[in-house]
Structure 1
Amino acid sequence: MTTPRSGSTRTGTNLAGLRDHNAALVLGLLRAAPAGSSRGELAARTGLTPQAIGKITARLLAEGTVEEAGHAASTGGKPATLLRLRPEAGCAVGVHLDRDELSVVLVDLAGATRHRHTETVDPAITPAGAVRLVADRVRGALAAAPAGARLLGVGVGCRGPLDHTAGVLHWFAAATPGASALWADFPLREALAAELDGLPVVVDKDTNTAALAETALLPRPGGGLAYIHLAGGLGAGLLLGGLVYRGSRTNAGEFGHQTVRIDGPLCTCGNRGCLEALCLEALDRDDHPEAARLLGIGVANLVRLLDIDQVVLGGRAVLAAPDTYLAGVARQLAERIPDPAWPAVPVAVSTYGPLAVAAGAAELVLAPLFDRRT
């Protein structure tokens, strides 16, 4: 999981109506400082008055979200008391619902994984069957929560297109057209929340949640990161200005459907020559070097278009041959962006491997608690 950078400056307000916002600022700073921070440091970093910080921290201490952590080194006067986040005070569940696989993680407030589970799923599963399965596995994850932990909710990452705001799937890659039709406009968020007795649920595209999990890799605050996911399909999660970019219809990131060969093979989207179709064609031949070359061409297009700072690769195809994809994408970037004035764009494999989507889905739930917009 990811945390705000400890060197960033956060701006607060002393208006009483924004008490929760200011508390989130404080919690975000404490999450970024595992060893603890003093009240004076928190006041300096947020711009809040010492009195405001005193009230906020008193409330957080009373509810058990933070705790005292000893004293800072003395600078001549009375040593300041350090405060730190209590990771076990709360938890969230992250779910990755794929066409043929389900992964579930439970994380605490610090982002540490306390439970993980992965299993295969029948590709012909119905929406109702999937909701029951996910709810059962979520309950299993919650059983591993620390005693007394507050259950904050469930984040779900799955393949798009979907409506993030409404939590409705527009389409899902089931085994047969008939099964896929059952998923059209399915209200996943509403159905899963009902199955979990009203526990808050957030739904987003798998590539967006995976990108969110990688935010600590941004080389500059507010920079741009592209998470590229190659498995049974090809998509991208975009962090622009440090925030997930979803577009006005929450459908941004259809990276695989850029045309790179006008007379190429037919794609599932109905067009020809899509990057996804070409990459999957190469994977059908078990030709990872060619898939990596094609992927690199698409990534170079994206970097030039959006001035991306960091590229992260993930998905089952990439994880099956990570060195091949790292080398192939980096080679295309070097060849296709030779301008010496253009800073080199680092390429990495996902920090979280096969759990990237689930880890980021949990962060969807946790982020608002720490004043992190998603």
Structure 2
Amino acid sequence: MTRDPGGGANLSALRGHNTALVLDLLRTAGEEGISRLELAERTGLTPQAVSKITARLRAEGLAAEAGRRASTGGKPRTVLRLVPTAGYAVGAHLDRDDLTVALTDLTGAPVALRHGPLDLAAGPVPVLAAVERELRALLAEAGLPLPPPRSSASGPVPTVVSVPAAGVAGGAEVPGVGVPGVGVPGVRVPGVGVLGVGVAMPGPLDHRGGVPGRVTGAAVWDGYPVRDVLGARLGLPVALDKDTNAAALGLAVRPGAPRSFAYVHLGTGLGAGLVVGGAPLRGERTGAGELGHQTVQLDGDPCACGARGCLEALCLAAVARGDLPGAARILGTGAANLVRLLDIDRVLLGGRVVRSAPEVFADGVTAVLAGLRLPTPVEVAAAPHAMALGAAHLVLAPVFGLAPSPADAPAS
């Protein structure tokens, strides 16, 4: 519990924590909703405290009645649900060769999407100009425009094709009231429908400072203040994290998600997002999950990172020569190392290369684990835009108390 300098409980933080507990239960209850009595039982809060919280959430447009449910005694219970359109988040995935921006509602469900080519190695100025352009276009299509840019940035912008989303007509206004009363520590919520922007990109990077490091193949990003620059241009809170961490977070907040798993991604590179005890494992310097740069062959070919015989170099070489079963076996070796180190419950596979042959990779990785007598289940995460959608959860998860804001997160 957070305490003030005088030694007493920090009531603002406590209220924010309790509100986050209630909001998360409303989120996981879905359209069926949940009663105040159930909220009290599951949170350990008093019925009076729950009534105050839910009354405030209803007044702010975050919660609404979802009907009544038969009671075992007395009058039927009123059931409450979360209002998904009470707030929105944006996720942006900056891959080495393409850009995806996604708008989600308060539950993390996708509302709209834009996707197109990008050259990450071109550097921060043209790339962030592209990100801003596409974010503004995405929000304008959903009826959530931002103020004009605060500064100008030059550089080529990729041609990005808009993908209409069900439920949002082009140019239609989407209701949004912001979340002014949530009060979750470390999360600033503006008085508009868009809560913030999560940005996912290849590492290494510093998730607390919002600054990339020497990205493999794009070292020009080293030390550039991505979070602060983009936040100033958009006028919104921005969170930056590694793309694999963002994807893992998005998978971790799903109802019924395993408590510990590795999301292993094979696309333009190879990496992993780790979740242990239900929380992302980033490491002190956001260095956890650099699966692709494990040395698995001491005299192997040079890797772009400067080492030799890295898992990523071997795996991508197999992909390049069309040997997908061989790439799957190499990927299985890396997955086995993670299982042995962390004793995780599940291995989830993703990325464009995996999605191109899901059965080949699932079977190949499973076979390697089985051969080593490691019974950990292997699944393919089917979502094609897991990193962009996961990036939106960098903004949403703190609101529900599911993870601290990246800027405030402990190393875990």
TM-score of the pair, normalised by structure 2: 0.81
Match of 1:23 in 2: 19
Contact 1:238–1:244 (CA under 8 A) maintained in structure 2:
yes
C-alpha deviations, 1:191-217, integer Å up to 9, x for none? 1111102x0000000000111121267
Contact 1:296–1:333 (CA under 8 A) maintained in structure 2:
yes
Match of 1:194 among 228, 232, 247: 232
Contact 2:69–2:76 (CA under 8 A) maintained in structure 1:
yes
Question: How far apart are residue 166 of structure 1 and its match?
Answer: 0.5
Match of 1:215 in 2: 252
Distance 1:87 1:292 in 2: 39
Distance 2:401 2:244 in 1: 22
Q: How many residues align?
A: 348
Match of 1:114 in 2: 111
Distance 2:284 2:220 in 1: 25
1:151 partnered with 2:194: yes
Match of 2:390 in 1: 360
SS in 1 for 2:297: coil
Match of 1:36 in 2: 33
Match of 1:311 among 340, 347, 358: 347
Flag structure 2 segments of 5+ consecutive residues without an equivalent: 1-8, 145-173, 178-192, 405-412
Distance 1:247 1:117 in 2: 31
Contact 2:120–2:127 (CA under 8 A) maintained in structure 1:
no
Structure 1 pair 201/217, CA: closer, same or farther in 2 (3 Å)?
closer
C-alpha deviations, 1:173-206, integer Å up to 9, x for none? 55xxxxx343111111011111102x00000000
Match of 2:407 in 1: none
Match of 1:135 in 2: 132
SS in 1 for 2:271: strand
Aligned AA (1:351)? A
Distance 2:255 2:41 in 1: 24
Aligned ranges 1:198-277 → 2 under 5 Å: 199-215=236-252, 223-277=259-313
Question: How far apart are residue 317 of structure 1 and its match?
Answer: 1.3
- Identical-pair percentage: 55
Contact 1:218–1:310 (CA under 8 A) maintained in structure 2:
no
Distance 1:57 1:207 in 2: 35
Question: How far apart are residue 367 of structure 1 and its match?
Answer: 0.6
Question: How far apart are residue 253 of structure 1 and its match?
Answer: 0.9
Match of 1:102 among 99, 104, 111: 99
Question: How far apart are residue 124 of structure 1 and its match?
Answer: 4.3
Aligned AA (2:220)? L
Contact 1:155–1:363 (CA under 8 A) maintained in structure 2:
yes
1:93 partnered with 2:90: yes
1:291 partnered with 2:327: yes
Flag structure 1 segments of 5+ consecutive residues without an equivalent: 1-13, 175-179
Aligned AA (1:158)? M
1:331 partnered with 2:327: no
Aligned AA (1:292)? A
Distance 1:279 1:313 in 2: 14
Distance 2:249 2:210 in 1: 18
SS in 2 for 1:32: helix
Distance 1:86 1:128 in 2: 37
Contact 2:28–2:255 (CA under 8 A) maintained in structure 1:
no
SS in 2 for 1:33: helix
Match of 1:345 among 369, 373, 376: 376
Contact 1:218–1:225 (CA under 8 A) maintained in structure 2:
no
Match of 1:4 in 2: none
Distance 2:326 2:214 in 1: 29
Aligned AA (1:148)? G
Structure 1 pair 351/214, CA: closer, same or farther in 2 (3 Å)?
farther
Distance 1:117 1:67 in 2: 31
Distance 1:167 1:40 in 2: 41
